[in-house]
Amino acid sequence: MAVDLSLPMLRSARRRLRGRHDADRAAWVRGAGERLPFSDRSFRAAVLYGNILGFSARETSVLLAELGRVVARNGRLLLDVASPGGALQEFFVRGAERRLLRRVLRDPDRYFVRRVLATGYQPYAPDRMANWEFGFHTAPEIGRRLSRAGFRVLDRMAVGPIAAFQEVVARAARREPTTWENLLRTEEMVGRRPGVLETGHGFVVAAVRDRRARPAAAPRPR
């Protein structure tokens, strides 16, 4: 079963699967994740791929509640999540390339680093040193959201490195103790400690539909 809001994307996926031995068994459904056209506990597993949570914006809780509704008890969920570390890393890499990084790290608040983490937009750069058009989730946050939806996290895996281990960033930041300390402190603001695997552009989460939990009801999107 494949669900997508875009009919052209569904048609493209169907063309790419043409000729495979199990392609005829696939069902193609146009629909929104926030309003899945399936009955309760219809599936033993679900996969969200392509930063669906990030693009769901304010409807993240609704989307996860819908997954909690259609995935059977003890069913599995696999989803990829965009981390705020991605915006941070991109911003720092671009800044290092333009020889602005040390200036930014000397006074992160003056350069609105917190806003970059939240929106990907850098106010002092007209061409946007980092530009992201979706939302981010930290690992602890997504764990709490999944729990409210009736899932229990089984494992997480990072899919990108943190900014401190990018050579161009590290080389610029290490020239001054203050800038290096501010780099590490800023990364910790998003729950990422240097040297820990689960950091970077994003991460993949594996979860199980908890048999004991009842997902919290979420309001339907308008």
Question: What percent of the chain is predicted at pLDDT more than 90?
Answer: 21
**pLDDT greater at residue 214 or residue 66:** 66
The answer on 110 and 147 residing in a single domain is: yes
What confidence tens digit (pLDDT) does each residue in 123-175 have? Answer: 655 455 555 667 778 778 889 999 999 999 998 887 655 566 678 888 888 88
For residue 150, CA distances in Å to 64, 169, 181 come to: 9, 40, 39
Q: Do 65 and 165 lie in a common domain?
A: yes
Q: Which two tokens stand for residue 61?
A: 């809780």
Q: For the CA atoms of 41, 42, 43, 46, what is the dihedral angle to 10 degrees?
A: -80
Amino acid 38: pLDDT = 92
Same domain, 59 and 149: yes
Look at residue 71 in the predicted model and tell me its pLDDT: 96
Domain co-membership, 22 together with 104 = no
pLDDT top residue among 211 and 110 = 110
Predicted confidence (pLDDT) per residue in 155-168, tens digit: 888 765 556 667 88
Tell me, yes or no, whether 184 lies in a domain. yes
Residues 4 and 75 in one domain: no
With cut-offs at 50, 70 and 90, classify the pLDDT of residue 84: confident
Residue 159 within any structural domain of the chain: yes
pLDDT at 76: 96
Whether 38 maps to a domain, the answer reads: no
CATH number at residue 203: 3.40.50
Residues 185, 109: one domain? Answer: yes
Per residue in 45-70, pLDDT (tens digit) is 999 988 888 777 668 889 999 999 99
Task: For residue 112, give its domain range.
Answer: 43-209
Strand partners, 209: 151
167 vs 198, higher pLDDT: 167
Is residue 36 included in any domain, yes or no? no
Distance CA 12, CA 218 (A): 32
Q: Please tell me the distance from the alpha carbon of residue 25 to that of residue 5, in angstroms, as a whole number.
A: 20
Residues near 65 by beta carbon (within 8 Å), at least 6 away in sequence: 148, 149, 215, 216, 217, 218
Task: For 87, list phi and psi in degrees, rounded to 5.
Answer: -65, -40
Q: How many domains does the chain have?
A: 2
Question: Does one domain contain both 154 and 64?
Answer: yes
Residues 19 and 73 in one domain: no
